[in-house]
C-alpha cells in the first residue's frame, strides 16, 4: 500500500461526458502528479502540483484540467470525453523533506476510465 | 523535450541475469529512475542514479553514464515474480518522464 488513494477505481461513461478523478496523496506529501497510461502507450505525464500550485505541465489536453486543494487532495477533470481518452489514470505523490528522494513517486492504484 | 528509449521486450530464464538498457535525451537532468510495474498494477520505485556509476540494491543494480545519456538496470537471480514491465524515467524540471517500458518475461 503506497498510501496514495484514488477514486473511483473504475468508471464507465459515454463520449461527450465529463468525469472527475480524485486523489489523496500520502500523508505529508505536498507534490501530486497525474499520469495517463493507455494500452499502446507508456505513462504519459499530464501535470504536477506542489502545495496547491501548478509546477509542471506535460502534454495535457485543453479538455483536461486539474487542481490541488488546501487539504492537498487533487482532482483531475476530463471533459468532452472521446473514445481515445479510455485509459488508466494514475496519481502519484512525493515528499521533499529530509530523506525523501526527489523523483521517487508513490503511485495510487489508478482509476480505469472506459469511454463508450 | 524528453526522449527515452528502452527495448520493448526481453525474455530470460529463472535464476539468470538480465540487463535492461535505457538511453535518454533530456533538456535538463536531475536523476535517472527505474520503476517496476506488474500488469494492471501501479508502478513501484526500484532504484535511481544521480551521479555516474553503479548503485546496488539487493538483486537489482542500476548504472548511469551521464555523458553518454545511458543507464541500465541489472536484475540478478531472476525469479518468476520478476516478470513485469520495467520503466526507465528521467527526472528534470519537477517532471518524471517515463520510457515506454520493457516487458521482462521470466521462464522456468
Run means of pLDDT, 10 residues per run, chain B, 108 residues: 89 97 88 95 94 94 95 97 97 89 96
Provide the pLDDT for residue B1.
57
- Say if A3 is an interface residue toward chain B (CB within 8 Å): no
A102:B30 CB<8 A: yes
Q: What is the 3-state secondary structure (H, E, C) of B53-85?
A: EEEEECCEEEEEECCCCEEEEEECCCCHHHCEE
Provide the pLDDT for residue B80.
97
Chain B residues touching residue A34 (CB < 8 angstroms):
none
Q: Is the distance from CB of B20 to CB of B7 less than 8 angstroms?
A: yes
> Across-strand partners of A106?
A93
| Intervals of chain A under pLDDT 70 | 97-99
> Cell 505525464 identifies what position?
A45
Provide the pLDDT for residue A38.
92
Nearest alpha carbon to residue B5 among B81, B80, B49, B69: B69
A56:B91 CB<8 A: no
- Say if A50 is an interface residue toward chain B (CB within 8 Å): yes
Residues B63 and B59: their CA atoms lie apart, in Å, by 14
Amino acid at each position: 500500500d503506497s498510501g496514495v488513494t484514488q477514486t473511483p477505481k473504475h468508471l464507465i461513461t459515454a463520449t461527450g461526458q465529463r468525469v472527475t478523478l480524485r486523489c489523496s496523496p500520502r500523508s505529508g506529501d505536498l507534490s501530486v502528479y497525474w499520469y495517463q497510461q493507455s494500452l499502446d502507450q507508456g505513462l504519459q505525464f499530464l501535470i504536477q502540483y506542489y502545495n496547491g500550485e501548478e509546477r509542471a505541465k506535460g502534454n495535457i489536453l485543453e479538455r483536461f484540467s486539474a487542481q490541488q486543494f488546501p487539504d492537498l487532495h487533487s482532482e483531475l477533470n476530463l471533459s468532452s470525453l472521446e473514445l481515445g481518452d479510455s485509459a488508466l489514470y494514475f496519481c502519484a505523490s512525493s515528499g521533499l523533506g529530509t530523506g525523501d528522494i526527489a523523483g521517487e513517486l508513490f503511485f495510487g492504484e489508478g482509476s480505469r476510465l472506459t469511454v463508450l | 523535450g524528453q526522449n527515452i528509449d528502452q527495448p520493448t521486450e526481453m525474455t530470460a530464464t529463472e535464476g539468470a541475469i538480465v540487463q535492461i538498457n535505457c538511453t535518454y535525451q533530456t533538456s535538463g537532468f536531475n536523476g535517472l529512475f527505474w520503476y517496476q510495474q506488474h500488469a494492471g498494477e501501479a508502478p513501484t520505485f526500484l532504484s535511481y542514479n544521480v551521479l555516474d556509476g553503479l548503485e546496488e540494491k539487493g538483486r537489482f543494480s542500476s548504472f548511469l553514464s551521464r555523458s553518454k545519456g545511458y543507464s541500465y538496470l541489472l536484475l540478478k537471480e531472476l525469479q518468476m515474480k520478476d516478470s513485469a514491465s520495467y520503466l526507465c524515467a528521467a527526472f528534470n524540471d519537477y517532471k518524471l518522464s517515463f520510457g515506454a517500458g520493457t516487458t521482462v518475461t521470466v521462464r522456468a
